[in-house]
C-alpha cells in the first residue's frame, strides 16, 4: 500500500467514524416509542429505562445489529 492509499484509507475510516458518531447523537436525541417500529410489539419498560430513545424491541435491535456486523 502506498502512502497515498494509506492516507485515503485513514480519511475514509475517519469519515465513517464521524458519521457513526453523528448517527448515534441523532438517535439519542429522538424520543423513543412504546412499540417496536419493526414488529410492533411493546418495548419493555426495562429496555425503555435503559435506552430511552429505543425505537425497537431488544429482539429486533439484535437482528439489526447482527445484520450490520455481517454487512447486510
Q: Which domain holds residue 2?
A: 1-30
Residues 43 and 8 placed together within one structural domain of the fold? no
pLDDT tens, 6-60?
Answer: 999 999 999 999 998 888 788 777 788 999 999 999 999 999 999 988 999 999 9
Residues 38 and 49 placed together within one structural domain of the fold? yes
Is the Cβ–Cβ distance between 61 and 43 less than 8 Å?
no
Report the pLDDT value the prediction gives residue 24, as an integer from 0 to 100.
79
Residues 17 and 50 placed together within one structural domain of the fold? no
Residue with cell 485513514: 10
pLDDT tens, 52-63?
Answer: 889 999 999 999
Report the pLDDT value the prediction gives residue 72, as an integer from 0 to 100.
61
Is the Cβ–Cβ distance between 30 and 55 less than 8 Å?
yes
Domain count within the chain = 2
Residues 17 and 39 placed together within one structural domain of the fold? no
Residues 18 and 42 placed together within one structural domain of the fold? no
Is the Cβ–Cβ distance between 43 and 35 less than 8 Å?
yes
42 bridge partner residues:
35
Residues 16 and 38 placed together within one structural domain of the fold? no
Residues 13 and 38 placed together within one structural domain of the fold? no
Q: How would you classify residue 9: left for phi > 0, otherwise alpha for psi between -120 and 50, otherwise beta?
A: alpha
Amino acid at each position: 500500500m502506498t502512502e497515498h492509499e494509506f492516507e485515503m484509507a485513514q480519511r475514509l475510516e475517519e469519515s465513517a467514524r464521524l458519521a457513526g458518531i453523528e448517527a448515534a447523537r441523532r438517535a439519542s436525541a429522538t424520543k423513543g416509542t412504546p412499540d417496536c417500529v419493526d414488529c410492533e410489539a411493546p418495548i419493555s419498560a426495562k429496555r425503555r429505562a435503559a435506552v430511552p430513545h429505543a425505537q425497537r424491541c431488544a429482539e429486533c435491535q439484535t437482528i439489526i445489529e447482527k445484520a450490520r456486523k455481517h454487512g447486510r
